[in-house]
């Protein structure tokens, strides 16, 4: 029995002992032991300026539209004769050179919405732009695969729409030790034991009781499992790095969870964009460097796919405040060592063909990427999750 299997059987046993009888209906663990693939989703919140992230440094339109914001070639990390990475993306350029990065350019959806919240909801729910869904694509993945709350963790204090299903929600947790401690008060256990299950379907009160039961059954498992692993990798001292370190701890300790979600905010650069974006991309890139290193050292990188998106890109034309306003299409990054397509999946956006707002016209619907990930990585029929047929891309 190797270390990981040992941990799994140990935690199975302890969790089963801990659970009050009536909770058995909410049985915690999947029957199949979780050695499967992991998906880590990262959102650059606020709308990262993709055009200054991967830069077409030979494009005249780019320089014309961005007199004071355009990146000069000398600042970039060259990829091809025409395209360069932002200077902060050192780790990403290495991943690119190793064939561990796939960039899907100009990803968006029809009739783009330029509101952060609406567009984030669209990306989270995988809806059309005129369709309002109350559940997220990962939440519906939990539903369709009959998974448990624990199978999707958002490394944060509150749960985003993406992880909310019709029947099952994921769990938000960024500190398993603290979470576990709070479930250990004796009176709390008493309430858990005494409450009448018959009323769990009641409106908001039922929701509160259900959440309480899920919390008590998950906390111990997460805590006991993840504490068996201590990373040797040094992470930068940023909040985002801490999130990714927590994800690595979860994965490397053998937690059953299949999907993780973390986000890095602040990309809404309406004014004085250059330094802000440089700093944020550095935070993102350095955290990713440590994260990938950590996974590689534990041999879990081969089972992990990392998907980075932003709710929209920014307008091609810069504004008067040395910033950019809300735009439309943007890149999506896929990181892993089992990519079917390495490097650039498709050409850069066409800057000479903009919509009436002066924004990019998307080439690839973001749900094509979701479909590929669902079908080929998470092994589920994407149509069950997305509700519509998407043929997918040959990327993973």
Partner 1 sequence: MTLQEIVHIYYRVGFGISYAEATILQKESKETIVNELFNASREVKPLAIDISELTAKVKNLNMKDRKKLRSLIKDSTKKVHELNIAWIYKLGNTEQLLREKMTLFWANHFVCQDNNILHIQHYNNTLRKHALGNFKDFVIAISKEASMIKYLNTKQNKKAKPNENFARELMELFTLGRDNYSEKDIKESARAFTGWNHDFMGNFRLRRFQHDTEEKTFFGETGNFDGEDIIDIILKQKQCAKYICEKIYRYFVNDTIDDSRVSEMTTIFFKDYDIENLMRFVLLSDWFYDEKNIGTKIKSPIEFLVGVHRIVPMQFEKPRELIYLQKLLGQHLLFPPNVAGWKGGRNWINPNTMMLRLNLPSVLLANGPISLDEKGEFEDDFQRFNNKRNKQRKLKVLPDWETFHSQQKDVTLKQLQQTIIVSPLNSGTAAYLEKLETQDLKKYSIQLMSLPEYQLC
Per CB under 8 A, residues contacting partner 1 are: 114-118, 130, 149, 157-159, 169, 171-173, 178-179, 181-188, 190-191, 194-199, 203-205, 207-209, 211-212, 214-215, 218-219, 270-271, 319-321, 323, 325-326, 357
Least CB distance to partner 1 at residue 62 (A): 18
Using the minimum distance from each CB to partner 1, give the nearer residue, 166 or 379. 166
Least CB distance to partner 1 at residue 250 (A): 15
Least CB distance to partner 1 at residue 258 (A): 18
CA atoms of 11 and 106, how far apart (whole Å)? 44
Q: What is the DSSP letter of 51?
A: G
Tokens representing 223 are 């805590």
CA atoms of 355 and 171, how far apart (whole Å)? 39
Least CB distance to partner 1 at residue 123 (A): 15
Using the minimum distance from each CB to partner 1, give the nearer residue, 78 or 271. 271
Using the minimum distance from each CB to partner 1, give the nearer residue, 4 or 114. 114
Q: Are 158 and 249 in contact (CB under 8 A)?
A: no
Using the minimum distance from each CB to partner 1, give the nearer residue, 32 or 198. 198
Using the minimum distance from each CB to partner 1, give the nearer residue, 245 or 326. 326
Residue 223 to residues 15, 47, 175, 182, 329, Cα–Cα distance (Å) = 11, 34, 9, 12, 39
Least CB distance to partner 1 at residue 179 (A): 6
Measuring CA to CA, which residue among 141, 135, 149 is closest to residue 214? 149
Using the minimum distance from each CB to partner 1, give the nearer residue, 74 or 158. 158
Least CB distance to partner 1 at residue 307 (A): 22
Q: Give the SS3 label for residue 104.
A: strand
Measuring CA to CA, which residue among 106, 109, 76 is closest to residue 351? 106
The phi-psi region of residue 379 (left if phi > 0; otherwise alpha if psi is between -120 and 50; otherwise beta) is left
Measuring CA to CA, which residue among 44, 105, 101 is closest to residue 351? 105
CA atoms of 47 and 266, how far apart (whole Å)? 8
């Amino acid at each position: 029995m190797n270390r990981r299997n040992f941990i799994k059987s140990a935690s199975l046993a302890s969790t089963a002992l801990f659970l009050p009888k009536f909770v058995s209906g909410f049985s915690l663990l999947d029957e199949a032991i979780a050695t499967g693939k992991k998906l880590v989703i990262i959102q650059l919140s606020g709308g990262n300026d993709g055009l200054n992230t991967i830069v077409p440094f030979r494009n005249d339109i780019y320089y014309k539209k961005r007199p004071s914001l355009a990146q000069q070639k000398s600042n970039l990390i060259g990829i091809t004769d025409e395209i360069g990475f932002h200077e902060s993306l050192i780790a990403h350029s290495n991943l690119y050179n190793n064939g561990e990065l796939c960039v899907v350019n100009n990803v968006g959806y029809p009739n783009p919405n330029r509101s952060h919240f609406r567009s984030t909801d669209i990306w989270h729910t995988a809806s059309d732009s005129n369709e309002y869904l109350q559940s997220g694509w990962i939440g519906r993945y939990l539903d369709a695969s009959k998974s448990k709350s624990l199978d999707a963790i958002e490394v944060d204090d509150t749960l985003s729409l993406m992880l909310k299903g019709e029947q099952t929600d994921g769990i938000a947790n960024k500190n398993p030790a603290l979470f576990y401690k709070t479930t250990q008060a004796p009176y709390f256990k008493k309430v858990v034991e005494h409450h009448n299950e018959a009323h769990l379907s009641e409106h908001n009160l039922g929701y509160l009781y259900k959440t309480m039961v899920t919390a008590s059954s998950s906390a111990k498992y997460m805590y006991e499992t993840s504490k068996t692993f201590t990373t040797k990798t040094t992470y930068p001292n940023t909040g985002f790095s801490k999130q990714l370190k927590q994800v690595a701890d979860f994965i490397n300790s053998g937690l059953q969870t299949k999907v993780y979600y973390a986000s890095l905010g602040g990309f809404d650069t309406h004014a004085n964009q250059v330094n802000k974006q440089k700093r944020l991309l550095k935070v993102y890139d350095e955290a990713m460097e440590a994260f990938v290193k950590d996974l590689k050292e534990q041999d879990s990188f081969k089972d992990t796919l990392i998907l980075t998106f932003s709710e929209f890109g920014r307008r091609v034309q810069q504004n008067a405040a040395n910033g950019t306003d809300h735009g439309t299409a943007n890149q999506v990054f896929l990181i892993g060592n089992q990519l079917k397509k390495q490097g650039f999946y498709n050409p850069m956006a066409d800057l000479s063909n903009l919509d009436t707002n002066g924004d990019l016209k998307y080439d690839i619907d973001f749900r094509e990427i979701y479909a590929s990930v669902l079908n080929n990585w998470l092994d589920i029929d994407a149509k069950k999750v997305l509700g519509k047929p998407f043929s997918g891309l040959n990327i993973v």
